[in-house]
Amino acid sequence: MTGVGSTEPAGSAGAGFPGAEAENSLYEAIQEERAKYPDDSRSAVLPALRLAQGQHGWLSPDALREVAEALELTPAYCKSVASFYDQLHLAPVGEHLVEVCTNVSCAVVGAQRVVEAFESELGCRAGETSDDGKVTLRAVECLGGCGWATIVAVDHHYRTHVSAEHVPAIVEELRGA
Amino acid sequence: MSEPQADLVTVKVDEREIQVPKGTGMVETAAAAGIEIPVFCYEPRLGPPVGACRMCLVEVEGMPKLQAGCTLTAQDGMVVKTARTSDQAAEGQNATLEFILVNHPLDCPVCDKGGECPLQDLTFRYGPGNTRMRFPKRTMEKPIPISPLIALDRERCILCYRCTRFSESVAEDGQLVAINRGASSVIATFEDEPYKGHFSGNVTEICPVGALTSTQYRFEARPWEIQNVPTVCGLCPVGCNITATTREGKVKRVLSRNHPEVDEGWLCDKGRYAFDHLEARDRITTPLRKRGLRRFEASSWEDAIDEVERLLRESGTTTATALSGGESVEEAYALAKILRQGLGAHNAVLPETPSQLGGSPLSAIRGTKTIAVLSDVPVVERAPIVDLWIKAARRSGATVSYGVPTGAVGALITDDAAKAAGIVAEHVYVLPFTPNGRGVADAWSAAGDEEPVDEKQRVLIISGDEAATDPSVRALAAEAETVIGIGMFEESFRGIADLVLPGTSYLERDGTTVNLEGRLQRQRRAVVAPVPDVLAWLSKLGERFDVELSPHASVLFDEVSERCYGGVTYAELGEHATLPPLAAEAQTPRLSVDSTQTQGQAERSPGLRLVAYRPLFSGAAVERTPELAFQRPDPVVELSREDAQTRGIRNSQTVTVSSNGTSLELRAQVARDLLPGAVRIARDHAGDLHPTVEVRP
Amino acid sequence: MAPDIVLENATTELAEYEATGGYAALAKARAMTPEAVTEDLITSELRGRGGAFFPAGRKWSFVPSKEQLPKPHYLVVNADESEPGSFKDNEILSRVPHRFIEGCLITAHAIDSQHVFVYIRGEYSGPYEILVGALEELKDRPDIRGDVTIVVHRGAGAYICGEETALLESLEGKRGQPRSKPPFPAISGLYASPTVVNNVETITTVPPVIAMGGAEYASLGVPNTRGSRVVSLSGNVVHGGNYEIEPGMSIKDIVYSLGGGIPDGRELKAVVPGGSSTVILTKGEIDVGYDFDSLAQVHTAMGSAGIVVLDDRCCIVQLGIRWSEFYEHESCGKCTPCREGTRWLTAILRKLEDGRATQGDLDLLLSVCDRINGKCLCPLGDSDAIIIASYVAKFRDEFQAHIDNGACPFGGESSLDGVLAPIQMHTHSPVAEVPA
Ligand SMILES: Cc1cc2nc3c(=O)[nH]c(=O)nc-3n(C[C@H](O)[C@H](O)[C@H](O)COP(=O)(O)O)c2cc1C
Ligand code: SF4
Ligand code: FES
C-alpha cells in the first residue's frame, strides 16, 4: 500500500490557509461558518481563525479583533483559543510554510538531516523565516504519515519519503513560485 | 422556594460516617465530617469543578487510581480516605505540591500574599520539606500590570485557572484568559490592554497565591499589622458585605465578606477600589463659608453652628432638605428630626421614590427559571452584583427576557416600580440608584408625618455630595436664598453653597443602611474621620432647637426601628444581616414626593429612544480615585441586534448618532439586553443629543 | 490471511462505491430499528479503534432516548489522529471516504442523531479535501443523506484534541482541554447533549459489520479482538505503510512478513506496539499476537495500532527525550502533574543523555514518573510517565551506561541524535521565556 497522504501541492495556496480568497469579506465568510453550528455556540471560532489567517497570513492583533467582532466575542478570548493551536500563527510567517515532522518515526530515518538541509538551503533556523520573507521553516510533531517518512508539509500538503537530497528542489520551487 | 429533599447517602470519610444528600461534592462531604480536603482550583462559586490542580486527590475504595475530591460526588456506601489516613493520598498531595513548587519562585518574604496564602498554608501542611528540582526555574518578566489596579506575577502563578474562570463564567467579560499551551501557558489580557470590567478586582481575591495582587495594596502592609473591620459597602444599592483592612488608621484595601444571599463574595471595582476618596485633596475638613463667587474660607465650628442655627430659625418651616440617599439611616433621621420636630420643616427632596416592593434575597434570582429585566439602564451600571446573579441564573438554564413578559416570571428586575404593574412575578427587585434611598426615606418618615407648607423655600439644606452634584438639586439651589451643605468635597459645593459642614464617608461612620432588597445592614467605622462625626454635631445642633438627639447610632436606630422596622434593635442586626419578611402592615407612611417618572412608553416614532445612563464608574468617590479612570465606559452606542440589522450596522463599526442638529461618532455595540427602538450611551459620551436619535453606519 | 474489510474496494468515487455494493448496508440498517442496529454491533464485538478499545455497540447503547432526555443527539467522529506512529485514519479517509460516510450515517441512525461532526486534524488537508469532495457528491442524493447533516470541522494542531472531551471542548470553540469525567459524553457531551465519539476506523468498520452481520464479523480474529485491524507500520522497517490484518497475527510477522524486516542490514532493537503512548517491547518480546489479550499479557496495548520499529542505532534515552518532549509540548497545561511533570522528566532525561546525571537522578526520574502516573486528569501525562518508566525497566543497562560513561554510549551515532523537537523552537511564543 502506498502513501495516499501525499496530495500534491495545491498551486500557490500559501502559508496561511487556502480557501479564504474571498469574493466575500471575512465578516461574511465567518457568518457562513457560524451558520453551521448551533446559535449560542462558539464553535465557529476555529473556522473563523482559519479564515482570518488565510486572509492576513497570520493572526495579527487586528485580525483577532476582526474575528472577535464578527463572532461577538472578545479579542482576548480569540487569542486564548488561537494560542492553544500550533497551526495558528500569532507572529508573522513567510509566504510559504515548510513543516518537517521530527517525531520518532521520521527522525529514525533521517528527518533531522532534512531539517538541516532546509536550514542551509533557506539560510535560516527552524522556527524562523528566510531573509527574503518567502519561507518559514518549522519542525513539527507527528504529521500522521509515519510509514512514508520523512513527511514534510509544504503549504499544508504532504510530501512523502522526503530526504535531504530532495530539499533543494523544494526550496527552488517555493522561491520560484 | 421548596427544594425537593434529595436522597441521603452514607459515606465514610477517614473512618467517620456521614450522611449527605446524594451527589454532594466530596470536599463538602468531608467538611461536613470535619475533615479538610485541600484544594487550589476548586471554588464552587466559579461553576462546576474542573479538577485541574490535583491538590484534592483522595483514595476511594474500589477505584484503582486516586480520585480528585473536587469532582467526586457522594454515592451511597462510598469509602474515602484523605491524606490523614491514606499514605497513597498523602503521597499524591505531596506530589502535587512538589510539582507546583517546581517552578515557583518562593519569594514569600516580599510577597503581598505572604501570611494569607493558601499555597503557604497547604505546603506547610502537606508539602515536601525540600526540593529535588535542580534545574533553573522558569522565569518571566514580572510584575506585569494587567490594569492600573492589578499586577500579575506570572512566576508565582500556579495555573489553577480560577481567575480566568471568573472572567469567563462569572463576570462573563472574556478579558482575562490563558494564552499558550502546556507549561508555556500564562494568564494574560489581550495585547497587554488593561483588564477592563466591572468586577476585575475579584480575581485578586480568588487567586490562591500572590500572582494577582492589587496595586493599591502592593507593599502596604503585612497581615499581622492590619485590622480588618467588617462593614457594608455604601456605594450602590446592593450593599455588599465587605471587610475594610486598615493599618495605622488608614483604609488599605477592601475585601469581600461573602454574604451568600447578597453578594456571594463578589465585589464590583467601585466598591473595592474607590476608598481612595477618603484621602481626596479637596476633602472638607473644617466648616466652610462662602467667600466670593466660587471660593470658600474656613470657619470655626462654633461660628458655623451658630450660623446654621440663625439661618434655620429665620427660615423655619420654609426650609427644604435635599438628600443624597447615601446617608445612613441615623444621619438622615437626626437631620429629619431637627427639621421636622424642631422647625416644622417637612419639605424633603429625595433623589428618587424608593419602592417598597421586594422582600426576596438577591440569591433567589439564581434559582428562577424565567427572568424579566425591565430596565433602560444597564443593570450592571446601577446595581452591579444583580447583574452577576442574572448571569448565574442564565448559566444554570434560566431564560432572561428584556421586554414585558407575556406570562408570570420567576424574577422581575426593574429600574422603576411603575413598570412592574400588572406583571406577576415570584420575586421583584426594583433597582434604586442611590445606596440607601430606602433607609433615608424611612428615616425621614419616622421623624414626622405632616405635609410641607406651601410657601417659597428660603433655605435649602443639601445633604451629601451626590445631591450637591445633581442638576435638579442645583436648580433648586439657584432658587433658594441660602444654601447649607453637608458633604465631603469642596468641588461638589463650590458655587452653590453658602455654608458647608464636613461630612463623612460610609467607611468612617457607624450606622445602618437599607439595600434594594430591603435588608437592614450595619456599617461600622473602619477608620476615624478627619472631621467630627456627623451625628455628634447634629446632636449639638438639635439641642438648640430642643430636639433630643443622641449622638449614638444605636439609640437613633432604635427610634427609627420602632416606627419603621418593627422594633428590631441595633444589636440584633448581625454581621450577616438577615432579610426581614415583608410585613404588609410595615408599609410605613410614604413620602409625598413628586414622582419624576419619565416613563412615556416608546412611542413608535421613526427615531430611536436614547437612554443616557449614569455609569457605575462615575460620581464623587470614583472621580477621586485616579486608578479607576480607565474603567469609565468606552464611547460606544449600544443598540439591539434588530436595529443594527435593519440599518446595516455591524458590531464594532463606527456609526453616526444624530438628533436635531447634533451628531456624534461612536462605536456601535450590539447589545443582547436592549429591545428594538432604544439605544444606550453612557451620560459622559452622550453629548448634547436629544432624547430621540437616529443611528447610521 | 489479511481480510479486506475496512479498506476493501478502495475508491473515492460515489458511482464506483455504489457499484461495489456501497451504501447497501445503510439501506439495510435503515430498514432495521436503531436498537436492532446497536444490537448487531454489540454482537459483532467491535471495539473502538481510537485507543481505549471500548465496545462500540455498548457505547451507543448508553445514549439515553430522546424521551428520557429531550436534547439533540450528536455523533462526533474523531479524525484527529495525532498519536506518533499512527496514520491509519489518514489512509482510510483518503481511500474509502464513502465507506466512512456510510458508517457515519448508519451510526447516526442507530443513535437517533441528525447531526454529525467530523473533527479532523488541521494538518490533514489531503484527506479533508477528499472527504469534502465525497460529501459534495452526496449533495443531490437525499436518499443517502436522509435527514442528517455532516459538518467537517478542522482542528488546528493540538494532539490533546484527540482525547474525546478535549475534542468536544475544541469543537465548541474553546481551548482543547479535557473535561473531568463523569459526566461521560454519552450523557453530556457536545453542547451538553448526548454524544457518541468514535474513531474513524471504528465508524468505517460499521458498514461491513452491518453488511455481513455482527455474528460473522465476530467470527474473525481472536477472543476480545474481533474482525480486522488496520495497523500503521513505521520506523526502521523496509515497507512502512498501513496493513489491514486479522488480530492475533504476531508483531514479528507484521514487522518481517508484511513490513519486509529491518533495512540497511541492521538489527531490531525494540518495537513500540500501539503508538508513542504504549509500553515498549524488546526484540525478545515481539513474538506476541497483535490482539488485546496477548498484548495485555506483556503489559502493553494495541493503542492506536501504530507500530514503530526501532533498530539498534536508537539510543533509548534519546527516544525517551524525544517523546517526553512531545508530551511536554502537547500537554494542555490544565493539570499540574502533566504540565510540570513532563517538563521535569525531559530535563532529567536530558541530563542523563548529556552524561551529567548521577545515580540519584535515575532514581529521581523513576520517582517523578511515579508521581505523575495516576495523578493526571487525562491519560496524556500518565502516558509519558508510563513509557519512560518502561524504557528504564527494559533498558536499564543503557541508562546505567549513560551514567557510568558520563556520556551517551552511542557517541553521536544514534538515529535520534540531535533531533530538533518543536518544543525547542519558541520563537513564535508571544511571551518572553527563559528556557531552563
Ligand atoms: C491524549 C489522547 C489522545 C487521543 N487521540 C485520539 C485520536 O487522535 N483519535 C482517536 O480516535 N482517539 C484518540 N484518543 C481516544 C479518544 O479519547 C476516544 O477514546 C476515542 O476517540 C473513542 O473512539 P473509539 O471508541 O471509536 O475508539 C485519544 C485519547 C487520549 C487520552
Ligand atoms: S494530563 Fe496533561 S493533557 Fe491531560 S488534562 Fe492534564 S495537563 Fe491536560
Ligand atoms: S513520525 Fe513523522 S509522520 Fe509520524
Residue C122 has pLDDT above 90, yes or no: yes
Dump pLDDT digits (tens) for A12-21: 345 555 444 4
What fold, for A20-84? Arc Repressor Mutant, subunit A (1.10.10)
**Closest chain C CA to residue B131:** C364
pLDDT bracket for residue B581 (50, 70, 90):
low
pLDDT of residue B672: 84
Give yes or no for residue A23 having a pLDDT over 80.
no
Which chain B residue is nearest to residue A66, measuring alpha carbons? B652
**Chain B residue whose CA is closest to C331:** B182
Interface of C with B in 139-158 (CB under 8 A): 158
- DSSP-assigned beta bridge partners for residue B470: none
CB B413, CB B684: distance < 8 Å:
no
Cell of B519: 435588608
CB atoms within 10 A of CB B583: 10
Percent of chain B past pLDDT 70, that is, above it, reads 96
Name the neighbours of B, counting chains with at least 3 Cβ pairs within 8 A.
A, C
Q: What is the pTM of this model?
A: 0.93
* Residue B171 burial class via C-beta count within 10 angstroms: exposed 0-12, middle 13-18, buried 19 and up: buried
Residues of chain B positioned with their CB less than 8 A from the CB of C431: 140, 154, 179-180, 184, 186, 188
Q: Quick one: residue C316, left, alpha or beta (phi over 0 = left, psi -120 to 50 = alpha)? A: alpha
Instruction: Show the cell assigned to C22.
Output: 456501497
Q: Which residue of C has its CA nearest to A13?
A: C125
- In this structure, whether the domain defined by C225-311 belongs to CATH 3.30.420.40 is answered with no
Looking at residue C397, its pLDDT comes to: 98
pLDDT for B579: 85
Angstroms from B638 CA to nearest CA on chain A: 13
Written as one letter, the residue type at C30 is R
- Between CA B339 and CA B348, with CA B345 as vertex, the angle to 5 degrees is 90
The DSSP letter of residue A32 is H
Runs of H (alpha helix) within B406-502: 437-446, 465-468, 471-479, 490-493
pLDDT of residue C114: 98
Dist CA C79 CA B480 (whole Å)? 79
Residues of B in contact with C374 (CB under 8 A): 64-66
Residue A114 φ then ψ, to 5° = -65, -45
| Cβ pairs B/C, distance under 8 A | 115
Nearest by CB to residue B102, choosing from C175, C340, C429, is: C340
The shortest CB-CB distance from B183 to any of C333, C430, C434 is to C333
Distance separating alpha carbons of residues C128 and B237, to the nearest angstrom: 57
* Of residues B133, B147, B134, B140, the one with CA closest to residue B180: B140
Distance CA C388, CA C280 (A): 9
Q: How far apart are CA B508 and CA B533, in angstroms?
A: 8
Q: How far is CA A73 from the centre of its chain?
A: 24
Q: What is the pLDDT of residues B28-49, one digit of tens each?
A: 999 999 999 999 999 999 999 9
Query: What phi and psi, each to the nearest 5 degrees, are found at residue C12?
Result: -100, -5
Confidence check: pLDDT of B387 > 80 = yes
> Any residues with Cβ below 6 Å from ligand 3, and which?
A 101, 103-106, 142-146, 149, 151; C 84
Which residue out of A108, A115, A141, A142 has the highest number of ligand 3 atoms within 8 Å of its CB and is therefore the one to mutate? A142
Q: Which helix H or strand E contains B459, and what residues bound it?
A: strand B459-463
What size, in residues, is chain B? 697
Predicted pLDDT at B422: 86
Pick the CATH number of A96-176 from 3.40.30.10, 3.40.50.150, 1.20.950.20, 3.40.50.1980: 3.40.30.10
Nearest CA-CA partner of C102 in C171, C231, C251, C205: C205
Are C322 and C423 within 8 A, CB to CB? no
* Residue A137, C-alpha cell as written in the block: 521553516
Q: Which fold has domain C316-432?
A: de novo design (two linked rop proteins) (1.20.1440)
C325 touches chain B (CB under 8 A): no
Nearest to C335 among B52, B91, B154 (CB): B52
User: What's chain C's average pLDDT?
Assistant: 95
Tell if the CB–CB gap between A126 and C123 is shorter than 8 Å: no
Residue range(s) in chain A whose domain bears CATH number 1.10.10.1590: 20-84
Ligand 1 atom nearest to C203, measured from its CA: 26
pLDDT at B471 over 50: yes
Q: B272 and B254 in contact (C-beta within 8 Å)?
A: yes
Class (C level, CATH) for C14-219 = alpha beta
pLDDT of A40 reads: 86
Pocket of ligand 2 contains residue C378 by CB under 6 Å:
yes
Return the best residue to mutate from C234, C277, C314, C416 for the ligand 3 pocket (most ligand atoms within 8 A of CB): C234
Distance CA C313, CA C321 (A): 15
Rounded to two decimals, the ipTM of the complex is 0.93
Query: Which domains are assigned to chain B?
Result: 8-100 (3.10.20.740), 111-119+134-278 (3.30.70.20), 288-352+436-596 (3.40.50.740), 362-430 (no CATH), 602-696 (2.40.40.20)
Single out the residue of C176, C172, C171, C151 nearest to residue C161, CA to CA: C176
Taking alpha carbons only, the member of C340, C383, C348 closest to residue C366 is C348
Give the model confidence (pLDDT) of C274-330 as tens digits: 999 999 999 999 999 999 999 999 999 999 999 999 999 999 999 999 999 999 999
Residues B361, B581: Cα–Cα separation, whole Å = 10
C contact chains, 3+ CB pairs < 8 A: A, B
Domain boundaries, chain C: 14-219, 225-311, 316-432
| pLDDT tier for residue B597 given thresholds of 50, 70 and 90 | very low
| Ligand 2 center–CA C126 separation, angstroms | 29
pLDDT of residue B454: 85
> Hey, is the C-beta of A171 within 8 angstroms of any chain C C-beta?
no
Nearest ligand to residue C203 Cα: 1
Are the beta carbons of B190 and A61 separated by less than 8 Å? Answer: yes
The Cα–Cα gap between B167 and B201 comes to 10
Return the residue matching grid coordinates 508539509.
A153
Which residue(s) pair with B374 in the sheet? B414
For B149-198, write each residue's pLDDT tens digit. Answer: 999 999 999 999 999 999 999 999 999 999 999 999 999 999 999 999 99
Between A2 and B74, name the one with better pLDDT. Answer: B74
How far off is chain C from B428, nearest CA to CA, in Å?
A: 31
Give B475→chain A minimum CA distance, Å: 43
For the segment A37-59, what is each residue's pLDDT rounded down to a tens digit? 998 899 999 999 999 999 999 99
What residue type is assigned to position B346 of the chain? H
- Res. B593: pLDDT tops 80: no
Predicted confidence at residue C426, as pLDDT, reads: 63
Question: Do residues C126 and C79 make contact, with C-beta atoms less than 8 angstroms apart?
Answer: no
Cα of C430 from ligand 2 centre, angstroms: 22
In ligand 3, the atom with minimum distance to the C-alpha of A111 is: 2
In which residue are the cell numbers 476618596 written?
Answer: B277
Distance B52 CA to ligand 2 centre (A): 8
Determine the Cα–Cα distance for residues B556 and B575; give it in Å rounded to an integer: 19
d(CA C332, CA C176): 7
Peptide linkage before A18 cis (omega within 30 of 0): no
pLDDT digits (tens, 9 = 90+) for B608-647: 999 999 999 999 999 999 999 999 999 999 999 999 999 9
